[in-house]
C-alpha cells in the first residue's frame, strides 16, 4: 500500500508518516516547507519513504499507484494564517482541488484534514458534527475557516459526483513534540514562557475554553477514520475542556515555574468555547483519547527542553 501525506513535514503530518511507515506503508511526503520543517522527518531513513518539496496549490503528478491520500497541507496556527492569508485560502481551495484531482486519477481514498474552526465561535457546546457553525467570513480567521469549509464542500462534491471514496476529519486543538516553539499557539507559548521565567500571556480574561488532544491520540483517530467506511465528517479531539486561565495554571504547576500571568488583548473572533462531541468517533471508530493532559504535557515539555529552548 502506497500513501501520500501532504503537509507531511509538519507537526501532525510527520507523526502520521511515522505511523504509516510503522504499519508497513510506502509513504510519499509532500510539503512546501512554508510552515513545515524538514527536521521533523530527518530521522526517517527507510527507502519506503520519499520527500517531495511541493506546494499543493500547484498540481502534483506522481508515477505509479497511490492507495491513500492524507491531505493535511495548510498553515494551521492562527499567527500563521493571519500572516499568510492568501496562501491559506489557496491551499484550502486550490490545494484541496488539486489533491482531489490526484485522488480521482489514481482512484485513491482521500482524507481531508478539516478543523474545529469550521464551527467558528460556536453557539453550541460541545460541538457535534451536525452543528453548522458560527463563522465570520470576513474576519481575520475567515481565511482559514472558510478555506476549510470550502475544502469540506469540495470533498463532498467529489464524493457525490465522482463517487470518490472520501473521509473528513475535524481536528481539534492538538499538541505534542514537533510543534514549533514559536508557532504562536497556546501550548508552545505557555511552555516556553514558563520555562524561561517570562510572563504567561493569557489573552482576554482567560475564560475562553479549549480541549487539548495529545498527538499520538489524534494520529490514531485520523488513521482509524481513514480505515473506516464512514464518509461524513468526524470530530477527533479530546473532550476534556479547560479555560485558558486554568490551562496557564496547569502549565505553571507541571513546570514548577514562578512566572506571573499577564493578561493581553483577546484576538479578534477568538472562539469563546471549544470542545468536541466525540460520540461518533467512539461509536464508529472505537476511538477515544488515552493520554492524560499531564502525561502529554510532560512529553511535550521534555521535547521543548531538548530541542528548541
Ligand atoms: N492564547 C493565549 N495566550 C497565548 C496564545 C493563545 O491566551 O499566548 C489563547 C487564544 O486566545 C485562544 C487559546 O489560547 O483562546 C488557543 O489559542 P491557539 O492559538 O492555541 O489556537 P486556537 O484554538 O485559537 O486555534
Instruction: Classify residue 181: in a domain, yes or no.
Output: no
Query: What distance in angstroms lies between residue 283's CA and the mean position of ligand 1's atoms?
Result: 30
**Ligand 1 pocket: which of 244, 247, 250, 259 to mutate (most atoms <8 Å of CB)?**
244
Instruction: Classify residue 79: in a domain, yes or no.
Output: yes
User: pLDDT (tens digit, 9 = 90+) per residue, 181-190?
Assistant: 988 999 999 9
Relative to the CA of 200, which ligand 1 atom is closest?
8
Considering only CA atoms, which residue is closest to atom 18 of ligand 1?
185
Task: Flag whether pLDDT at 309 surpasses 80.
Answer: no
Q: Measured between alpha carbons, how far is residue 283 from residues 3, 103, 105, 121, 126 in Å?
A: 26, 28, 32, 26, 17
| Cβ of 273 below 6 Å from ligand 1 | no
DSSP reduced 3-state for 60: coil
User: pLDDT (tens digit, 9 = 90+) per residue, 1-21?
Assistant: 999 999 999 999 999 999 999
Q: Are residues 194 and 85 in the same domain?
A: no
Domains identified in the chain, total number: 2
CA distance 177 to 266: 26
Q: Are residues 89 and 197 in the same domain?
A: no
Q: What is the pLDDT of residue 243?
A: 98
Q: Are residues 123 and 99 in the same domain?
A: yes
Q: Are residues 232 and 301 in the same domain?
A: no
Q: Are residues 15 and 123 in the same domain?
A: yes
Instruction: Classify residue 28: in a domain, yes or no.
Output: yes
Q: What is the pLDDT of residue 307?
A: 79
Instruction: Classify residue 98: in a domain, yes or no.
Output: yes
Q: Are residues 199 and 219 in the same domain?
A: no
Query: What distance in angstroms lies between residue 131's CA and the mean position of ligand 1's atoms?
Result: 22
- Largest interatomic CA distance in the chain: 58
Q: Are residues 199 and 146 in the same domain?
A: no
User: pLDDT (tens digit, 9 = 90+) per residue, 137-165?
Assistant: 999 999 999 999 999 999 999 999 999 99
Give residue 104's pLDDT band: very low, low, confident or very high (50, 70, 90). very high
Instruction: Classify residue 90: in a domain, yes or no.
Output: yes
Q: Are residues 24 and 154 in the same domain?
A: yes
Instruction: Classify residue 27: in a domain, yes or no.
Output: yes
Relative to the CA of 248, which ligand 1 atom is closest?
7
**Ligand 1 pocket: which of 80, 144, 186 to mutate (most atoms <8 Å of CB)?**
186
CA distance 132 to 263: 32
User: pLDDT (tens digit, 9 = 90+) per residue, 209-227?
Assistant: 999 999 999 999 999 999 9
**CATH number of the CATH domain containing 121:** 3.40.50.720
| 40 grid coordinates | 521533523
Q: Measured between alpha carbons, how far is residue 165 from residues 35, 124, 145, 156, 158 in Å?
A: 29, 30, 24, 10, 9
Q: What is the pLDDT of residue 96?
A: 98
Q: Are residues 194 and 133 in the same domain?
A: no
Query: Which H or E run includes 26?
Result: strand 26-31
Domain hosting residue 198, numbered range: 186-208+241-273+296-308
Catalytic residue numbers read 144
| Cβ of 210 below 6 Å from ligand 1 | yes
Q: What percent of the chain has pLDDT over 90?
A: 98
DSSP reduced 3-state for 37: coil
Half-sphere exposure of 288 (CA within 13 A, CB side): 9
**CATH number of the CATH domain containing 266:** 3.90.25.10
Considering the chain, what is the average pLDDT of its residues? 97
For 58, counting Cβ atoms within 10 Å of its Cβ (0-12 exposed, 13-18 middle, 19+ buried), the class is exposed
Q: Are residues 156 and 45 in the same domain?
A: yes
Q: Are residues 167 and 203 in the same domain?
A: no
Q: Are residues 201 and 133 in the same domain?
A: no
Q: How many helices (H) and strands (E) does the chain have?
A: 10, 13
Q: What percent of the chain has pLDDT over 70?
A: 99
Instruction: Classify residue 172: in a domain, yes or no.
Output: yes
User: pLDDT (tens digit, 9 = 90+) per residue, 161-181?
Assistant: 999 999 999 999 999 999 999
DSSP reduced 3-state for 200: strand
CA distance 98 to 246: 42
Residue 295 and residue 216 in contact, taking contact as beta carbons nearer than 8 Å? no
Instruction: Classify residue 57: in a domain, yes or no.
Output: yes
Q: Measured between alpha carbons, how far is residue 271 from residues 123, 148, 149, 235, 252 in Å?
A: 10, 16, 16, 17, 24
Amino acid at each position: 500500500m502506497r500513501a501520500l501525506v501532504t503537509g507531511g513535514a509538519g507537526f501532525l503530518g510527520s507523526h502520521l508518516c511515522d505511523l504509516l511507515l510503522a504499519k508497513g506503508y510506502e509513504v510519499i511526503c509532500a510539503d512546501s516547507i512554508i510552515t513545515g520543517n524538514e527536521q521533523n522527518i530527518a530521522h526517517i531513513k527507510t527507502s519506503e519513504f520519499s520527500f517531495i518539496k511541493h506546494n499543493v496549490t500547484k498540481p502534483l503528478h506522481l508515477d505509479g499507484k497511490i492507495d491513500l491520500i492524507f491531505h493535511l497541507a495548510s498553515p494551521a496556527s492562527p499567527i500563521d494564517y493571519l500572516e499568510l492569508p492568501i496562501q491559506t485560502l489557496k491551499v484550502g481551495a486550490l490545494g484541496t482541488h488539486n489533491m482531489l484531482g490526484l485522488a480521482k486519477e489514481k482512484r485513491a481514498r482521500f482524507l481531508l484534514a478539516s478543523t474545529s474552526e469550521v464551527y467558528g465561535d460556536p453557539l453550541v457546546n460541545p460541538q457535534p458534527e451536525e452543528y453548522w457553525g458560527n463563522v465570520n467570513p470576513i474576519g481575520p480567521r475567515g481565511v482559514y475557516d472558510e478555506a476549510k469549509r470550502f475544502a469540506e464542500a469540495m470533498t463532498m462534491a467529489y464524493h457525490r459526483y465522482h463517487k470518490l471514496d472520501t473521509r473528513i476529519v475535524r481536528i481539534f486543538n492538538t499538541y505534542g513534540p514537533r510543534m514549533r516553539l514559536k508557532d504562536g499557539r497556546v501550548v508552545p507559548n505557555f511552555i516556553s514562557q514558563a520555562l524561561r521565567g517570562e510572563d504567561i500571556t493569557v489573552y482576554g480574561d482567560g475564560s475562553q475554553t479549549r480541549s487539548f488532544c495529545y498527538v499520538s491520540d489524534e494520529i490514531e483517530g485520523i488513521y482509524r477514520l481513514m480505515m473506516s467506511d464512514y464518509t461524513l465528517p468526524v470530530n477527533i479531539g479530546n473532550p476534556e475542556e479547560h479555560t485558558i486561565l486554568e490551562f496557564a495554571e496547569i502549565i505553571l504547576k507541571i513546570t514548577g515555574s514562578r512566572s506571573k500571568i499577564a493578561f493581553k488583548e483577546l484576538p479578534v473572533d477568538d472562539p469563546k468555547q471549544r470542545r468536541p462531541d466525540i460520540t461518533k468517533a467512539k461509536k464508529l471508530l472505537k476511538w477515544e483519547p488515552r493520554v492524560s493532559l499531564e502525561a502529554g504535557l510532560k512529553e511535550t515539555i521534555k521535547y521543548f527542553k531538548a530541542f528548541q529552548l
